[in-house]
Amino acid sequence: MDQINAILLQNPLSQKIINTSKKLLFKNNNGNEIQQAKNIVSKTITHPLSLSLYEQGGKSSSVFIRLAGFSGASAVILGAYGAHRSWSKELDPKKPNRDPRAIFETANRYHFFHSIVLLAVPLTKRPMLTGSLIATGMTLFSGTCYYAALTGDERYNRLAPLGGTLLILGWISLMFF
């Protein structure tokens, strides 16, 4: 803050402009008005990089930054588990396009991408709306895919399209809300 004030108000060029303005604008030349203007300017200038992401985003930002950290960590853990798990070599003849490893990798990829997106949520216009859509969509989409890949039980697969729709709405909320 002091550096900005020094750069803006206390360099020779600024001093010359201020003094000349004083002489032209104020006939009594006592400078009280200029000092008041300096005080107002110095109080209103803030350096945006001095604020942390939590401070810039407000109260809701810490929720989504922590959620992004948890989500990213769990994506790494699940990705490592899926990479080292022994998958059945035989595909179910009734469901030839249901390779559990491919389903798991898709779930993990979407989980990672949207964990990173959660980090940007505090910078959006409406972080609670965008963050809720992304987090819920990620849970429904990736969660049901993880479950189906790991257990072979497909009864919750109908929730995956709902999760995908919520992810799409979360991205759209970045554009309009």
pLDDT in tens, 69-100: 788 788 888 888 887 777 776 656 666 667 88
Q: What is the pTM of this model?
A: 0.61
Higher pLDDT pick, 156 / 61 = 156
Across the chain, the runs of DSSP E, i.e. the strands, are: none
Helix axes 2-9, 32-44, angle to 10 degrees: 140
User: What span, in angstroms and rounded, lies between the C-alpha atoms of 140 and 160?
Assistant: 6
What single-letter DSSP state applies at residue 91?
Answer: P
* Contact of 75 with 116, CB cutoff 8 Å: no
Q: Name the pLDDT band for 33 (thresholds 50, 70, 90).
A: low
Q: Considering the chain, what is the average pLDDT of its residues?
A: 77
Domain ranges of the chain: 2-50, 53-176
User: What radius of gyration do the chain's Cα atoms show?
Assistant: 28
**43, amino acid identity:** K
Which pLDDT does position 114 carry in this prediction? 92
